[in-house]
Structure 1
Amino acid sequence: MLSTKSLINLKGTYVLPLMLVFLLSSGCSVTKVVPEGEALFWGYDVAVKGEKDSSKRSADLETELSQTIQPDPNASILGLRPKLAIYNAFYTEKEKGLKHWIMTTIGEPPVLFSELDTGSVSQVMRNRLHNRGYFNNTVGSTAEVKNKKATVSWTAKVGEPYRLRKIEYTLNDSLQVHRDIQRTKNESLLQPGEPYDLSTMSAERVRIDGTLKNAGYYFFSPELLIYSADTTVGDRQVDVLLRVKNAAAARALQPFKMDDIFIFANYSVGDSLATNDTIDFRGYHYIPNENYVRAKHLLRGVFLEQDSLYTREEHLLTTKRLNAFPAYKFVNIEYEVDTTKSDALDAFIYLTPSLKKSLRAEAQMVNKSNGFAGPGINISFQNKNAFKGSELLNVELSGTFESYVGGRGSGDVPEGVEQEGNPNLTSYEISAKASLTIPRILSPFKIRNLRTEFAPQTRIGAGFSFLNRVGFFQMNSYSATYGYNYRPTQTLTLDVTPINLQYVRLSNTSDSFTTLLEKNPYLRRSFENQFIIGSIYQLTYSTQIYEDRTHQFFDRVTLDLSGNLINGIQSLGGSPSPTEDFPRTIAGNRFSQYVLLDNDFRHYLNIGKESQLVTRLVTGAGYAYGNATTLPYVKQFSVGGPNSIRAFRARSIGPGTFTPEDPNDSFSFFDQVGDIRLVGNVEYRFPIVGFFKGAVFLDAGNIWTFREEFKEDGTPARPGSVFNSSNFLNELAIGTGFGLRVDVEFFVLRFDFGIPVRNPSMPEGERNVFNKFNGSFGGDNGMVLNIAIGYPF
């Protein structure tokens, strides 16, 4: 229990709900509703004693045996049992009403010791150990009941496991299938000297079946292989014999070739399968015609070939590639033995079209990383088969109305600058963009069809946006891109955008904003009308598709280049070398020249079924050179906000130790960008109740500049902003906090409460601000509430 004195020292109304959660989690007594003579199944442990076991598998065996215990004790978090506490707190014998609903829906009834059959569990454990080669094992359990809580300990005693001595295939060489099985022996999962393991023997059957499936044996299955084990050879050894069942059907023991391949390109359930209006194209029977997707485009996703052996590999590759076509929602492939050739299969590929065109309108709440938030509307049109090649055409029109809610605030403007417009930095944006995704590579050079399960894509895009930052400026942005997406494996994705064009034009600047730009040459150059002409290369590695792995990794590396090609062309054309005052231009506007490298690395440690420890390190650096002395404003880094350092508002940190002349200045967020970024996050995620999830986190980071910037009078524009390799760790902003997430699988609503720990903008010696935390949501030392959609990383 929290003392009264502790409660008095805490400030803010948020204490009350936290106390309620704490009290519910603790409960007056977890055994409150446990009947007399019963006990709560409180916990268990499993120990495997194998002093003479040379395989050293005790830890793995303990984990495996623990999974056999049913039922599980009540769910616990950090030693607490919140669901059981809720059940106890709202316990009622009524079968309706709010208390009954909370008790049965959110709460969890006590798991009683009488529900646990220790004898049956021990027998299951003995069977598991037998399957792992411990033919002579003993399993026993003891129970301790104290204060109506029962704890059970299981102890398994094992010796040296039986090991494989010899593996033989009892086969008839007169049949081709036996010869094909024999040829796979060198790849066998069963090796002499290894412990006998039933799961490995089952996996060996699956391996052989997979090999045969890729050699034409369409009707073969793992169940046709059986083992005989001889444990009488002595010295804890086993001889294993593998053979094909005598009752196996003849067609299961012969390879099949592909004969006719029929493609129903516009199939619906219930359609008659008449083959009139068939087009014979490159050996395929294309039905009914090319009014939907043209055959030449569709066949890039078909890898079954006439007169070739049937293989599962080609079947799966075809299925996955056709499923990647936006024009289709279902893909099904069936096989039948040819009516005239007993060793041939006819393939029937049924493709069910998706809804071709769709129009969607949605209202949304925009919450941007730059601190602007507000309502918006988005209207999108999709055509999933725009040019009869399963091309996905997407056209979007959007409008947002936002106010700046995440920065330093809306205080007074700098001295001598007249404030115009809305002091809350109201903004609205209207944009239109179109993209075309083509499920194949479009290139001036002929490229062979890549044999990957993920279809390579060509992406073409164009867009326009108009941004009106009321009281400051208006900005028109034009963009065009041409790129490729290629995923050679499940874990690796390559995005190449060789053409990335962008033109940014600033207009209708207010007097106050113009004065700000005049006083800050660096900021002025960042906002100049300019072209971005370059390429973007992105490599992503992710193992998150393997959901059963304890360790999952994600790493995205982005290389952004601009201006090099056009600068080189102008150099070859004899243009004068660019200077800060006389840069090279296109149509009278400067073009940017820079290199930017960014890396986002994440590690996910899965703890139990739902808990997870996530770490992230984001590093980035951009350097302007040649025709530019600063990065374009849209390319510069900023930190703070819901996906960065959550104890500080968006764009309110750095660069370095720089502090705006007035921290509440509504102009300050323009200044708080840089060339270098370093952000680290650690977050522990855990379940609470139902779809409510919790998190505690620690964030750190900052931004810096490469160069010192000067005002027109020669004084530093942003003192303390330059990166210093010997001192940057002392300039990190640090924040901690906790979060509540509503996770309903397809949608996550996130509430993160950030608490500042270290503020680099404070004078040295005063940067540790955690001891000044006031427990409220106000002031420089208060808590920051981040509301966002989705997890932060």
Structure 2
Amino acid sequence: MKINSYITLLFSVSLLLGCSGTSKIPEGDLLYTGHNLSVKKGEEPKKIRKSIKSELDDMIRPKPNKSIFGMRPGIFFYNLAGDVKKEKGFRYWLKYKLGAEPVLMSKVDLDYNQKVIQNFVENKGFFNANSTADTVQKGKKVKANYEVTLNNQYKIKSVIFPADSIVLAKEIGLLESTSILKVGKPYDLEDIKNERARIDAKLKERGFYYFNEDYLLIQVDSTVANHEVDLRLKIKNNIPEKAKNQYKVNDVYVYPSFNLKRDTVANRKMDTIKYKDLTIIDNKTVFKPFIFDKTLLFDKGELYNRTTHNLSLNRLITLGTFKFVKNEFRENKSAKNELDLYYYLTPLPKKSIQVEALAKTNSANYSGTELNVNWSNRNLFKGAELLTITAFGGLEVQVSGQNRGFNVYRFGGEASLVWPRFISPFEMRSGSAFAPRTKASIGYEYQLRTKLYSLKTFNSSFGYLWKENEKKEHSLSIINIAYASPNNVTDLYQSQIDENPSLGKVIERQLIFGTTYTYTYTNTMLKNKKNNIYFKGGIDLSGNSLGLLLGANDSNNPKSIFGVPFSQYSKLELEFRHYYNFSKETTLASRIILGAGIPYGNSKEIPFIKQFFIGGTSSIRAFRARSIGPGTFDGNTVTDNSFLPDQSGDLKFEFSTELRAQLYKLVKGAVFVDAGNIWLLNKNPEKPGAEFTGQFMNQLAVGTGVGLRFDFNFLVLRTDLAFPLRKPYLPKGEQWVIDDIKFSDGGWRKENLIFNLAIGYPF
């Protein structure tokens, strides 16, 4: 036993030494383990010292090997792989993907890093700062020590803008009141650079097409007072004459069928069409002229404007019709200070067909595959309209849960037509960088739930989609019609309806005439922010106009169209997400969802397909999909069902928070807590405890768990293992089940541990 213990101890020590990264350091070199940076206390506030230290820590190079509790597994795997001669195979992957080359002291340039520190603090206004650099060795490891004394930070005493009489100087002078450089602010070289860029951007809005920020000079005088500077903004001498002039837009030429393989277009015979201020040169007349008038925002005779320039380009790109978009500005030879604009557009193939094979999951905890065949015509009526005809078929199964064996088969089709403009009897224009869209669609779906029933669904819609900017998006569906009809209801399902009448809602014939509006705001595309947010709010109104026309005000005697009572309700749903980024690798993500649906007039309840559900892979992950609520009602024990009924409600509250951290390259880990429930607005004798009351916060389901996310860029595969902390359907006083947690108990695991397999992040 002693020998075995010694061998085990020796192996463990060897492994730790190997993981520490020092076992194969070349003779005369040391393993670099990072740096310490000290910003000595002075007169400046602690907040400034902390900010400077944080920025300097990111600048110092090189970065050491990653360490986990003093061990460096990257170096261990790098050494373990040995010499690798081929740029492929397991050993190459082990050495260069899983492993990491040791960072040695011979690669560290102390003098260079000290200069970086000194330059940075001087650029922040600490002109009298001092910095030092040295090292501390411990065995085969070495750490760099940097120390900086800031002394006094210089402040801005005055900012002087040019007072020349030329037009350029006058235009710059108009920008003084909004300057970044303010008297009393600390001197900061970054502010000076940003001020030059700001002035250049503003001048580009005022016709100065040929101006450049390098033509501006900001002189700094640090001798005017004690720890203060004067800043004088000047236009450099001998800048090009045309950089001083404002330019107007003259003629606009559009080549809608430009071929990149041609060297020139001048020697080709083409049709020329004059349309308003546009000259359209097109030997095929592929596009109607009005589409360019609606897309290009320049008007003849107006000053050149960089924003209008970029908006026009972006609108051409977002039409979705052109493969390449190129523009060119040329000085007009016959008119002084005027520009002619040329747009060269290479169309995408007009018709295309695409086949997609998808893997998917849904909120009901089903996973499956789907095959889509899409046929597109990108210029149906020569106005950049997009016609898409889609046929699809798919299979969905439950990997885990009571619905295993009750597979779902779906097939159907949809035709949609999108106009890249507003189609309306009223004049509607958009100055956004994104072309507004009008969309009409019609579709059919047949859904077969084996052993239960089938549903046929027809839907059609007409509405608008537009984006104010990259952060704000609107969707308005003026007409939204849906009709659902059941078929082939099995005896099994009918017997369950007899025991639990609420299941009959699923297969009721439904007719919806609605209007929906959705607003979305997000800044999640900004990757360097500490806080990112996402908000989506939607309202769904149905049957209001029909209710007024037909006088529908009695839900006990509903009005019908073609023998089917139409639904009348209002539904509101709000979702807010917040992402707090501790670093690029670690994020705290949180989400809250609020929803309410109110039936009235012709309806006692909102349609089943419009009701709220909770639980499942992207909701409260410790509970099966649609198995919670409403309220304290327990739908799992009402009947001896061989399948899980769908529990739905009129009101919804859901909250989730998840700490995400990168474990290794493509692998991220998560720890999460979910909570929420659904409720009915009105009391239902068949579902005791389901109605909403003032005690709703005491009726929340709560769960927690851990998960892994495998991020392959094109696909995120997510696994979550969760278990409940609170079960709202248990008797009062017994709902918290934390004390019952027993991971070693097979019975507890079978009843409470929920494994979720999904594609994509939950939020």
* TM-score over 0.5 (shorter chain): yes
Q: Hey, what's the Cα distance between the residues in 1 that align with 2:392 and 2:647?
A: 28
Alpha carbon RMSD of aligned pairs, Å? Answer: 2.6
**Aligned pair partner of 1:228 in 210, 216, 219:** 219
- The residue number in structure 1 matching 2:742 is 772
> Any idea what the Cα deviations from partners look like across 1:225-262, whole Å, max 9, x if unmatched?
11222211121121222212212111111111222211
Cα distance in structure 2, aligned partners of 1:95 and 1:499: 65
Matched, 1:439 2:420: yes
- For residue 694 of structure 1, what is the amino acid of its counterpart? G
- The answer as to whether partners of 2:577 and 2:591 remain within 8 angstroms in 1 is yes
Match of residue 248 from structure 1: 239
Aligned to 2:669: 694
Cα distance in 2 for partners of 1:294, 1:26 equals 73
Distance in 2, matches of 1:750 and 1:54, equals 45
Counterparts of 2:108 and 2:308, CA distance in 1: 49
Render the CA deviation track for 1:517-553: whole Å, top value 9, x for unaligned. Answer: 3443433345321211111111111111222211100
Q: 1:500, 1:532 within 8 Å by CA — same for their partners in 2?
A: yes
Q: Which amino acid aligns with 2:226?
A: D
Match for residue 347 of structure 1 among 330, 341, 348 = 341
- Among 505, 513, 518, the residue aligned to 2:485: 505
* Range moving further from structure 2, 28-37 or 164-173: 28-37
Q: Which amino acid aligns with 2:620?
A: I
Could you tell me which amino acid in structure 1 is paired with residue 291 of structure 2? H
Q: Which amino acid aligns with 1:658?
A: F
Q: Which residue of 2 aligns with 1:784?
A: 754
Q: Give SS of 1:231's match.
A: strand
Tell me which amino acid in the other structure corresponds to 1:145: Q
Does 2:261 align with 1:270?
Answer: yes
Alpha-carbon distance in 2 for matches of 1:170, 1:312 = 23
SS of residue paired to 1:71: coil
Task: Give, as a single letter, the amino acid of the residue that structure 2 aligns with 1:558.
Answer: G
Q: Which has the higher contact order (CA 8 A, sep 6+)?
A: 1
Q: What one-letter code is carried by the residue in structure 1 that aligns with 2:148?
A: A
Picking from 547, 554, 558, the partner of 1:578 is 554
Q: Work out whether 1:555 is the aligned partner of 2:545.
A: no
Aligned to 1:139: 131
2:109 to 105, 117, 132: 117
1:224 to partner: Cα distance: 0.8
Q: Report what 2:692 is aligned to.
A: 723
- Contiguous gaps of at least 5 residues in structure 1: 1-22, 411-423, 711-716
Counterpart-to-counterpart distance in 1, 2:15 and 2:558 = 67
CA deviation map 1:80-105 (0-9, x unaligned): 755345435x3424545634530222
Deviates more, 1:305-314 or 1:507-516: 507-516
Rounded Cα–Cα distance in structure 2 between residues aligned with 1:483 and 1:430 = 25
The range that moved more, 432-441 or 363-372, is: 363-372
1:130: which partner in 2? Answer: 122
Question: Could you tell me which residue of structure 1 aligns to residue 681 of structure 2?
Answer: 706
Given candidates 624, 648, 659, the residue that maps to 2:623 is: 648
User: For residues 477 and 594 of structure 2, what CA distance do their matches in structure 1 show?
Assistant: 21
Pair 1:430-2:398 in alignment: no
Residue 616 of structure 1 is matched in structure 2 by 591
Alpha-carbon deviation of 1:593?
Answer: 1.6
Give the whole-Å Cα distance in 1 for the aligned partners of 2:743 and 2:648: 26
1:376 is aligned, of 370, 379, 395, to 370
Cα separation, partners in 2 of 1:306 and 1:691, compared to 1, 3 Å = same
Aligned counterparts, 1:72-87, within 5 A: 72-76=63-67, 81-87=72-78
Change (3 A) 1:108 1:466: same
Matched to 1:656, the amino acid is: G
Per-residue CA deviation, residues 380-430 of structure 1 (Å, 9 max, x unaligned), is 1122222211112221111112334454346xxxxxxxxxxxxx1122111
Q: Which residue identity is paired with 1:557?
A: G
Q: Which amino acid aligns with 1:554?
A: Y
- Residue 512 to residue 306, structure 1, CA distance change in 2 (3 Å): same
Quickly say closer, same or farther: Cα 1:399–1:409, change in 2 above 3 A: closer
* Counterpart code for 1:456: P
SS of equivalent to 1:670: coil
Bigger drift between 139-148 and 321-330 goes to 139-148
2:6 corresponds to: none
Pairwise CA distance, 1:58: 1.7
Moved more, 759-768 or 264-273: 759-768
1:526-541 map, 5 Å: 527-541=507-521
**For residues 743 and 206 of structure 1, what CA distance do their matches in structure 2 show?**
37
Are residues 441 and 398 of structure 1, via their aligned partners in 2, closer, same or farther at CA, if it must alter by over 3 Å? same
Shift of 1:693: 2.4
CA gap of 1:27–1:294, structure 2 versus 1, over 3 A, is farther
CA contact (8 A) 1:26 1:81 kept: no
Offset at residue 329 of structure 1 (A): 2.4
Q: How does 1:752-771 map to 2 (within 5 A)?
A: 752-764=720-732, 765=734, 767-768=736-737, 771=741
Higher mean C-alpha displacement, 491-500 vs 163-172: 163-172
Deviation digits for residues 315-348 of structure 1, max 9, x if unmatched? 1111111111111122211111112224211111
Q: Distance in 2 between matches of 1:661 and 1:640?
A: 14
1:747 is aligned, of 715, 718, 732, to 715
Pair 1:384–1:406, CA change in 2 (3 A): farther
**Distance of 1:632 and 1:189 partners within structure 2:** 56
1:164 aligns with 2:156: yes
- Answer with 685-694 or 297-306: which moved more: 685-694
Counterpart for residue 457 of structure 2: 477
Shift of 1:617: 1.0
Aligned counterpart, 1:16: none
What is the distance in 2 between the residues matched to 1:296 and 1:492? 27
**Does residue 548 of structure 2 align to residue 568 of structure 1?**
yes
Q: Using the alignment, how far apart are the partners of 1:427 and 1:82 within structure 2?
A: 46
Identity among equivalent pairs (%) = 34
Counterpart of 1:12 in structure 2 is none
Whether 2:576 is the aligned partner of 1:604: answer no
**TM-score in terms of structure 2 length:** 0.92
| Bigger shift: residues 108-117 or 119-128 | 108-117
Alignment check: 8 A CA contact 2:365 2:617 kept: no
Which has the higher mean CA deviation after the structures are superposed, 779-788 or 279-288?
Answer: 779-788
Hey, what does 1:323 align to over in structure 2?
Answer: 317
- Report if the CA contact (8 A) 1:600-1:618 is conserved: yes
Alignment correspondent of 1:516: 496
1:639 & 1:689 partners in 2: Cα distance?
Answer: 32
Cα distance 1:427–1:588, how it changes in 2: closer, same or farther (>3 A)?
A: same
- Are 1:628 and 2:603 matched, yes or no? yes
| Correspondent of 2:472 among 492, 497, 507 | 492
Is it true that 1:463 corresponds to 2:443 in the alignment? yes
Instruction: Specify the code of the residue in structure 2 equivalent to 1:773.
Output: F
**Which of 76, 82, 88 is residue 92 of structure 1 equivalent to?**
82
1:334 aligns with 2:334: no
**In structure 2, C-alpha distance between the alignment counterparts of 1:98 and 1:233, rounded to whole Å:** 66
Alpha-carbon distance in structure 1 between the residues aligned to 2:634 and 2:519: 36
Q: Aligned equivalents of 1:74 and 1:427: distance in 2? A: 50
Tell me the secondary structure at the aligned position of residue 523 of structure 1.
helix
Q: Distance in 2 between matches of 1:144 and 1:668?
A: 68
Residue type at the aligned position of 2:440: I
Aligned to 2:224, what secondary structure does the other structure show? coil
Number of the residue aligned with 1:280 = 274
The question of whether the paired residues in 2 share the 8 Å contact of 1:526 and 1:631 is answered with no
How far is the alpha carbon of 1:602 from its aligned partner?
A: 0.4
Q: CA deviation at 1:56?
A: 4.9
CA distance in 1, matches of 2:17, 2:312: 56
Q: Residue 536 of structure 2: SS of its match in structure 1? A: strand
State which drifts further: 184-193 or 728-737. 728-737
Tell me the distance in 1 between the aligned counterparts of 2:358 and 2:173. Answer: 62
Q: 2:40 aligns with which of 49, 53, 64?
A: 49
* Range with bigger deviation, 58-67 or 283-292: 283-292
- Residue 28 of structure 1 deviates from its aligned partner by 4.8
| More divergent stretch after superposition (728-737 vs 192-201) | 728-737
* Conserved? CA contact 1:775–1:782, under 8 Å: no
Deviation at 1:171, TM superposition (A): 5.0
